[in-house]
Chain A
Amino acid sequence: MERTDAAPIQTAILDAGPIIHLDELGCLPLLSDFHELLVPVAVWKEVERHRPSAISADQITFIKQQAPVLSSALYALCEAFNLDRGEREALAVCHIRAGAILFTDDAAVRLAAKAAGVRAYGTLGILIRAIRQRQRTPAEVIRMLEQIPSQTTLFIRKSLLQKIIEEVRASSE
């Protein structure tokens, strides 16, 4: 599906979850309209370990990003939310890339991101955004959403997923 009205395109910083889940759905190209896709080194290693095909895919270009040392405030936040190394690096990269969006499927990371003033969304947001960005038709996105329980390792309550599908369907009518 062709895009006709370009929306602002920016930097995205990725945690492992969305890379893996999008690859499980064959949807990594949905990230292609972002100006740059930064993957912190620890996240890169995590994806390489769990789903190497995702990070080596030639359909999308990820940039391996060295994370800066955490500021003391950010360190305290990461400790409070018990974040792992990749998650900490992702937040640290956000800290030096003001205005970037963080993509993560972890609730603790999203809480920490909120506290740090970082906008964060997950795999579901990326999939649904594909309609708005005219990368996929509503029917195609609904099909991808329906495949989440059987094709991916993303956990979501079935009744909630069904509600989302209905909302997406209604918004496209």
Chain B
Amino acid sequence: MASKTVQAELPEKIYDQIKVLVDEGWFTSDKDVITEALRRFLETHKPELMAKFVREDVEWGLYGKD
């Protein structure tokens, strides 16, 4: 699979949690943890899904009953 290199700063606490997962053998590298975490985030943050929720907000805001 083609890949891109991204450089990003992480809060130390998050990095420590990543390190625990790798050190305990749940993942083979920090790259794998970050890729899996991002994959799961992206599954639930698809643009069309977020737009749908915004639409629901507008509908409720303008025409809701409560």
Q: Measuring CB to CB, which residues of chain A are less than 8 angstroms from any residue of chain B?
A: 7-10, 81-82, 101, 107-108, 110-111, 121-132, 156-157, 160, 164, 167-168, 171
Interface Cβ pair total, 8 Å cutoff: 69
Given A9-B66, A125-B64, A128-B57, 9 more A-B residue pairs with CB atoms under 8 Å apart are A82-B44, A108-B45, A123-B57, A124-B58, A124-B61, A125-B57, A125-B61, A127-B61, A128-B61
Q: Could you tell me if B57 and A7 are in contact, using CB atoms closer than 8 angstroms?
A: no
Q: Measuring CB to CB, which residues of chain B are less than 8 angstroms from any residue of chain A?
A: 40-41, 44-45, 47, 49-51, 53-54, 56-58, 60-66
Q: Could you tell me if A131 and B62 are in contact, using CB atoms closer than 8 angstroms?
A: yes
Chain A residues near B63 (CB-CB < 8 A): 132
Chain B residues near A126 (CB-CB < 8 A): 61
Q: Name, among A8, A107, A124, A132, the residue most crowded by chain B CB atoms within 10 Å (CB to CB).
A: A107
The docked-state distance in angstroms from the alpha carbon of A128 to that of B45 is 23
The docked-state distance in angstroms from the alpha carbon of A82 to that of B37 is 9
Contact flag A122-B66 (CB < 8 Å), given A82-B40, A164-B58: no
Q: Could you tell me if B45 and A168 are in contact, using CB atoms closer than 8 angstroms?
A: no
Q: Could you tell me if A129 and B60 are in contact, using CB atoms closer than 8 angstroms?
A: yes
Q: Could you tell me if B62 and A160 are in contact, using CB atoms closer than 8 angstroms?
A: no
Q: Could you tell me if B60 and A121 are in contact, using CB atoms closer than 8 angstroms?
A: yes
Q: Could you tell me if A124 and B45 are in contact, using CB atoms closer than 8 angstroms?
A: no
Q: Name, among B41, B45, B56, B63, the residue most crowded by chain A CB atoms within 10 Å (CB to CB).
A: B56
Closest chain B residue, CB of each to CB of A123: B57
Question: What are 23 contact pairs spanning A and B, CB under 8 A?
Answer: A7-B66, A101-B66, A107-B45, A107-B53, A110-B53, A121-B57, A122-B53, A124-B58, A124-B61, A125-B56, A125-B57, A125-B61, A125-B64, A127-B61, A128-B60, A128-B62, A129-B61, A132-B62, A157-B47, A157-B51, A160-B54, A167-B62, A168-B62
